[in-house]
Amino acid sequence: MKYHIDTIPVWDAYHQESECPLCILEHNLEKNYVESFLGASVMESDTRIQVNRSGFCPHHFKLLYDAQNRLGLALMTHTHLKELIGKFERQSKAVLDAAEQKSSSIIDNIFGRNKDFSEALSEFEEWIITQHGQCLICDRISNTMNRYAYTTLYLWDTDSEFKKTFNSSRGFCLNHLALTIKIARETMSSKKQALWLADVIPLQIKFFHNLDHELSLFINKFDYRKKDKPLGSAKDSLPRTLQKLTGKYMD
Ligand SMILES: [Zn+2]
Ligand SMILES: [Zn+2]
């Protein structure tokens, strides 16, 4: 797999103090994609065709809905719905045909001339689940995040200034740690992968412990005997811990 290098956004994210710079990048991407899908890009015929085909996941439909461009979203949803109806009619016909054949012709079933009803129904179920899981925004975010993860590894490997910045960062959230491991496995030699892990794992462990400590300070603050103790950086330890665990930037 070949990825393009895109260093400026990665450097920008590393200049902000956070539990995971890739979370910041993903958060910005999501915001930009939601805006662009309700703006000019949705008028491009390529994008329109892709939206009609896949639609969006529940999370991204909700973000689009909350963005308050109801006409834009209604137009987009309408053409997607029309395409879905066509596909649904074709897919459901296959399962209804199989049901009918099952009840009418035992002989055909014995000779295997009919598609087995339960097989057809299970394919139909799978088709619905796949259809429901498709999302153009998720796809685009995932492609660009692969590129950002690759760029992070590339900078770590080739730019000593970045390596220093990286080594004073807090590692990644679990989600983006897995992503960088995936990209490292795809693009680096085993020797480099091992060097990468030797840098990243101690950071992860150090900042897990950091959050552990800050979260206890935060919890103690609810104890009236300790309520006057200053919280300092532990003030936002809950959203940062949630981000570290889930990859969801809680702004
Ligand atoms: Zn992250
Ligand atoms: Zn999505």
pLDDT for position 102: 64
Q: Which ligand is nearest to the CA of 245?
A: 1
Model confidence over 237-250: pLDDT tens digits?
999 999 999 998 88
Mean pLDDT in residue range 162-170 = 96
Q: Which ligand is nearest to the CA of 132?
A: 2
Separation of CA 237 and ligand 2 centre (Å): 27
Does the structure show a pLDDT above 70 at 115? Answer: no
Does the structure show a pLDDT above 70 at 112? Answer: no
Does the structure show a pLDDT above 90 at 8? Answer: yes
Model confidence over 45-81: pLDDT tens digits?
888 899 999 999 999 999 999 998 888 899 999 999 9
pLDDT for position 231: 83
Does the structure show a pLDDT above 60 at 129? Answer: yes
Q: Which ligand is nearest to the CA of 141?
A: 2
Separation of CA 137 and ligand 2 centre (Å): 5
Does the structure show a pLDDT above 90 at 152? Answer: yes
Separation of CA 225 and ligand 1 centre (Å): 36
Q: Which of 168, 172, 136 is nearest to 57 (CA)?
A: 136
pLDDT for position 210: 96
Separation of CA 216 and ligand 1 centre (Å): 22
Does the structure show a pLDDT above 80 at 133? Answer: yes
Specify the pTM. 0.86
Separation of CA 85 and ligand 2 centre (Å): 21
Cα 157 to chain centroid distance, Å, stands at: 25
